[in-house]
């Protein structure tokens, strides 16, 4: 008869294999068809920028609004290969490190059992699986943020200058990777004050490290602010509608962190027509939690522990901080801004399950694992919001049929520049513009200039020409296509509906001789007939 897991799992001959098995499971899940999909924009951008000299690479990524540490690390990684599988493998390894760090944090805060449950949930988390399969800075940043949290817990519990040095280095690394990392200072202060013992000897190293981190955060902010190509002077106090959207975004965060990329890429522009089913699912979780608390004194005690209060507050700040900053800057809300809170939520879920007594613990844990397996399977099967077009397939058609003097007209322009640099052999003239995120205008580069990165201009960047709207857009498109016999049009279907002048410019003197639908983008081939 199999012994129930309610017994202390640190006992038994197979206990030492549990953590390696969990990590291996997470790695296998992340490696599944890792190179099967073409790269999307952020991945292609990392490869494109890697071709610049080191100084240019740093300036370019600062101009894009991202500190450069990840891209400097990837410069070494890319030296060994740049195929789809290899460039994503680094994120897989960072994801495996996150699983291990969640286990260590859970063990330090609660127990080995809590750490193992948390690691298992992290291993199967659809959101973390998603980012661990993308060649972007997110998986690297999540691992660093989780390391920062673990080191902070050790500092709060044990002190020691070695622990404080590790915490400081890990946190500075997050500052050097993520623009909103200053939020970690607020979250870290809350955790330290809640977890530290009354030994005043730990207050001095905390003050020293916090002072160093404040200086690093300020330096990171101003370095990015001065270099970023878009205007950063749009900070404003949110109005009532924006505050309501912020509250809605925060309320929806547990669903996004749990369900993953089903909705993480969605910008929450308002509450009207919002997916109320998500809030109902969250309400159901709250009701179940209250019921469990009512029937289990052990779970009630877990909720009142200072460790639980500290972790809950930490996760809340990691979610609310970036959302508040982003809505005050651009009025947008997206799950990618608080994805670093996912490991903390998985740790909380693992500790909560570990607090359930008897066989109910196994039932609750397995139920969560089954749900995560289903959601991760849905993510890997492609049943989620498309992040980008199949650039490999789309530009494969262009490569097979292109002729000399062909031109590509693309909206947004930078997507095609990045994709052509990776997937399109040979040279092709690429023109087009970048639709505004806030109105019905389109930004173009100055006439005759090519888009060469964020330093050369973006939406409101210094290098872009004034935006064009009704009456001017069609004339600019016609001018960009002057002298071309054939043009490949790449654009989002919604963009063509929003800007009919683009279609009109390709109407009178052009014939559509081919069209291919790639979901997020459409590809069309036009020939001039006069």
Of 15, 315, 283, nearest to 194 by C-alpha is: 315
What are 119's two structure tokens?
């690691």
Whole-angstrom distance, CA of residue 341 vs CA of residue 250: 12
Q: How far apart are CA 262 and CA 478, in angstroms?
A: 39
Rounded to an integer, the average pLDDT of 245-271 is: 70
Q: Rg of the chain over CA atoms, in angstroms?
A: 25
Are 58 and 108 in contact by the 8 Å Cβ rule? The answer is no
**pLDDT number for residue 404:** 85
**The tokens of 406 are what?**
């062909």
Most confidently modeled of 138-152, 169-183, 314-328, 454-468? Answer: 138-152
Higher pLDDT, 282 or 326: 326
Over residues 107-137, the pLDDT tens digits come to 999 999 999 999 999 999 999 999 999 999 9
Q: What is the mean pLDDT of residues 74-87?
A: 93
The conformation of residue 133, written as its DSSP 8-state character, comes to: T
Cα distance between residue 232 and residue 224, in whole Å: 10
Q: From CA 304, how far away is CA 120, in angstroms rounded?
A: 24
Which uninterrupted H or E stretch holds 471?
Answer: none
- Whether 85 contacts 34, CB under 8 Å: yes
The tokens describing 52, both together, are 């610049």
**Model confidence at 278: pLDDT above 80:** no
**503-514: pLDDT as tens digits:** 888 887 899 999
Strand partners, 408: 430, 488
Backbone angles phi, psi at 524, to 5 degrees: -130, 145
Residue among 499, 498, 489, 497 at smallest CA distance from 521: 489
The predicted structure's pLDDT at residue 181:
87
CB atoms within 10 A of CB 3: 9
**Dihedral angle computed from the Cα positions of residues 235, 237, 243 and 249, in that order, rounded to the nearest 10 degrees:** 20
Residue 443 is given by DSSP the state: E
According to DSSP, residue 335 is labeled G
- Out of 252-261, 274-283, 368-377, 482-491, pick the least confident: 274-283
pLDDT of residue 1: 36
Q: What is the pLDDT of residue 407?
A: 94
Compute the half-sphere exposure of residue 528: CA atoms within 13 Å on the CB side of its CA: 13
Residue 525 sits at φ, ψ, to 5 deg, of: -115, 125
Is 51 a residue whose pLDDT tops 70?
yes
Among 41-55, 69-83, 440-454, the range of highest mean pLDDT? 69-83
Each residue of 211-225: pLDDT tens digit? 888 888 787 767 666
Give me the helices (H) in 176-264, please.
Answer: 183-195, 203-227, 240-259
Least confident piece of the model among 20-29, 284-293, 345-354: 284-293
User: 426 pLDDT exceeds 90?
Assistant: no
Residue 33, by phi and psi: left (phi above 0), alpha (psi -120 to 50) or beta? left
Q: How far is CA 5 from the centre of its chain?
A: 35
Name the average pLDDT for the chain.
Answer: 83
Whole-number Å distance between alpha carbons of 530 and 427: 26
Q: How far apart are CA 235 and CA 252, in angstroms?
A: 24
Residue 103's H or E segment, with its range, is helix 84-109
pLDDT value at position 234? 55
Q: Which range has the worst mean pLDDT, 225-229, 247-251, 305-309, 390-394?
A: 225-229
pLDDT category at 502 given cuts 50, 70, 90 is: confident
Of 493, 123, 513, the C-alpha closest to 343 is 123
């Amino acid at each position: 008869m199999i012994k129930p897991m309610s017994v202390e799992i640190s006992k038994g001959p197979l206990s030492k294999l549990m953590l390696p098995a969990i990590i291996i499971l997470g790695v296998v899940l992340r490696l599944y068809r890792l190179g099967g999909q073409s790269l999307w924009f952020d991945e292609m951008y990392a490869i494109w920028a890697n071709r610049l000299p080191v100084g240019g690479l740093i300036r370019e990524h600062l101009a894009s609004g991202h500190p450069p540490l990840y891209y400097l690390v990837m410069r070494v990684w890319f030296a060994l290969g740049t195929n789809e599988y290899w460039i994503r493998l680094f994120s897989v390894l960072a994801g495996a490190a996150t699983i291990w760090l969640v286990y260590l944090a859970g063990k330090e805060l609660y127990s080995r059992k809590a750490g193992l449950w948390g690691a298992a949930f992290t291993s199967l988390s659809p959101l973390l699986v998603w980012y661990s399969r993308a060649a972007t800075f997110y998986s690297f940043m999540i691992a660093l943020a989780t390391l920062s949290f673990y080191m902070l817990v050790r500092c709060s519990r044990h002190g020691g200058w070695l622990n404080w040095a590790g915490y400081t280095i890990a946190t500075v690394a997050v500052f050097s990777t993520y623009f909103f990392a200053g939020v970690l200072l607020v979250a870290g202060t809350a955790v330290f004050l809640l977890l530290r013992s009354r030994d005043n000897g730990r207050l001095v190293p905390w003050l020293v490290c916090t002072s160093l981190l404040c200086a690093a955060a300020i330096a990171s902010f101003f370095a990015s602010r001065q270099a970023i190509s878009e205007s950063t002077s749009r900070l404003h106090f949110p109005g009532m509608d924006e505050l309501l959207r912020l509250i809605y975004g925060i309320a929806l965060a547990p669903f996004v962190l749990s369900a993953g990329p089903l909705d993480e890429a969605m910008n929450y522009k308002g509450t009207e027509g919002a997916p109320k089913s998500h809030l109902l699912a969250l309400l159901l979780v709250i009701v179940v939690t209250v019921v469990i608390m009512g029937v289990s004194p052990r779970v009630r005690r877990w909720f009142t522990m200072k460790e639980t209060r500290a972790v809950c507050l930490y996760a809340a700040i990691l979610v609310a901080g970036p959302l508040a900053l982003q809505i005050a800057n651009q009025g947008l809300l997206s799950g990618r801004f608080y994805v670093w809170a996912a490991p903390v939520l998985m740790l909380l879920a693992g500790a909560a399950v570990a607090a359930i007594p008897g066989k109910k613990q196994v039932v609750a844990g397995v139920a969560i694992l089954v749900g995560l397996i289903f959601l991760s399977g849905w993510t890997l099967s492609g049943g989620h919001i498309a992040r980008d077009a199949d650039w490999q397939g789309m530009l494969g058609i262009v490569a097979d049929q292109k002729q000399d003097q062909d031109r590509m007209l693309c909206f947004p322009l930078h997507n095609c520049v990045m994709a052509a640099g990776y997937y399109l052999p040979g040279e092709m003239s690429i023109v087009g513009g970048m639709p505004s995120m806030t109105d019905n205008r389109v930004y173009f580069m100055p006439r005759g200039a090519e888009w060469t990165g964020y330093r050369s201009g973006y939406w409101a960047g210094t290098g872009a020409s004034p935006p064009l709207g009704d009456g001017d857009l069609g004339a600019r498109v016609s001018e960009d296509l002057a002298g071309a016999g054939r043009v490949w049009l790449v654009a989002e279907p919604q963009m063509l509906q929003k800007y009919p002048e683009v279609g009109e410019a390709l109407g009178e003197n052009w014939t559509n001789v081919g069209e291919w639908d790639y979901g997020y983008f459409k590809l069309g081939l036009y020939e001039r007939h006069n």
